[in-house]
Amino acid sequence: MSYFLAFAGFAALIILHEFGHFVAAKAVGMRVERFALFFPPLLFKWRPKGSETEYGIGAIPLGGYVKITGMNPDEDMPAEVAHRAYYRQKVWKRIVVISAGPAVNIVLAFLILWVLFASRPMQLSQPVVDRITKDSPAQGVLEPGDRLVSVDGVPGFAPGISAEEGERRVERLREAVAGHGCAGEERQGCAATEPVTVVVLRDGARRTIEVTPRYDAAAERLLIGFGFGTRGVDVGVGEAAQLSVTGMWNVTTLTVEAIVKLVYDKEARDEVSGVVGSYEATRQTLEFDTVRAISILALISLSLGIINLFPFLPLDGGHIFWALAEKVRGRAISFRVMERASIVGFVLVLMLFYVGLSNDIGRLTSGEGFGVR
């Protein structure tokens, strides 16, 4: 079932993206010849009675498309429909049509996150031990339920503190532990040169404990080896909207930075995941946490919208860029010029696809997985 649900989720993102182009094209009077889910060859196609648009389902489940008359200015077309061709339209109409696809993905991401934030208590970390990591420095020293009064003198738990203050204190406690260092170069498992002094409240009594953190390469800092507890806080629709926008902005910034780093940073390239990885991560998450899987789909939808806005053909942003360039220039730009410039976009898309697919195959064949648990 998880395979089908993950597939359905990705199909929905594609359909809604293309549906955005479709609706916008119809709204501004362009002629839409075909609306298809997935790429050709078409397995099924039909044309409703009296409709100028053919609908279809392709055999290659890697995307979808809307075919609008005149996307190539040199295209031969009947004289009676020429006035509705894409390149015969005003610049603003073309921009509206091309922007509609990414806009749908971005709005969809916002709506999903907004509903999730508004309908469920937001979990804030608290200075309380929730679980102990096996074979960690905390094992046998700390216990679930311990209230962390302080770490190296940095205050943690106190009666009556708000959930928001508790989360702020958790971040300061993390910084206190991470402030310790190993002797020499930090490497996986190396121990700090000095122990951390932890004061806990256990069974109503204070206890002072010294524990030596170890370096975790994945976290890139020293850890004691436990998870903080959480406390649920209800938020209103206004704050939920604000949290959604803030989270989306953070993801947007990270996405743009990651794309830029692909050019010069091998570690960034190693972290890229493609369609296979995104699908598999979503499917695995569905097996144990539906809400988290839905939030992952929201972030994938957001990333799809952002990447499509990069100003390179064949991405949507490339069409927007050249439409704006035509507006600034005051006359049409040669299609051959755009074709030559589109090489940059094709290289970018192919690089992303190749790197992502290679990493996904490597993770699957090595048994590394996608870290969803």
pLDDT at 172: 94
As a whole-number percent, the residues of the chain with pLDDT over 70 amount to 83
The CATH homologous superfamily to which domain 122-233 belongs is PDZ domain (2.30.42.10)
Residues 344-366 pLDDT 10s: 777 776 766 655 555 545 544 54
* Residue 365 CB contacts under 8 Å (≥ 6 apart), including other chains: none
Lowest mean pLDDT, pick from 166-175, 211-220, 321-330, 342-351: 342-351
Chain-wide mean pLDDT for the chain? 83
192 closest CA partner among 166, 212, 174: 212
pTM of model > 0.75: no
Residues 126-175 pLDDT 10s: 999 999 999 899 998 999 999 999 999 999 999 989 999 999 999 999 99
CA–CA gap between residue 22 and residue 38 (Å, rounded): 15
Question: Is the pLDDT reported for residue 373 higher than 70?
Answer: no
Would you state the structure tokens that stand for residue 187, as one six-digit string? 């490497």
The larger pLDDT score, comparing residue 294 to residue 93, is at: 93
The larger pLDDT score, comparing residue 323 to residue 354, is at: 323
pLDDT at 43: 92
Residues 61-101 pLDDT 10s: 767 889 999 888 778 888 888 899 998 899 999 999 999 99
pLDDT at 283: 53
Question: Is the pLDDT reported for residue 32 higher than 90?
Answer: yes
3-state secondary structure the chain: CHHHHHHHHHHHHHHHHHHHHHHHHHHCCCCEEEEEEEEEEEEEEECCCCCCCEEEEEEEEEEEEEEECCCCCCCCCCCCCHHHCHHHCCHHHHHHHHHHHHHHHHHHHHHHHHHHHHHCCEEEEEEEEEEECCCCCCCCCCCCCCEEEEECCEECCCCCCCHHHHHHHHHHHHHHHHCCCECCCCCCCCEECCCEEEEEEECCEEEEEEECCEEECCCCEEECCEEEEEEEECCCHHHHHHHHHHHHHHHHHHHHHHHHHCCCCHHHHHHCCCHHHHHHHHHHHHCCCHHHHHHHHHHHHHHHHHHHCCCCCCCHHHHHHHHHHHHHHCCCCCHHHHHHHHHHHHHHHHHHHHHHHHHHHHHHHHCCCCCCC
> If pLDDT is split at 50, 70 and 90, which confidence band does 367 have?
very low
Domain residue extents for the chain: 122-233
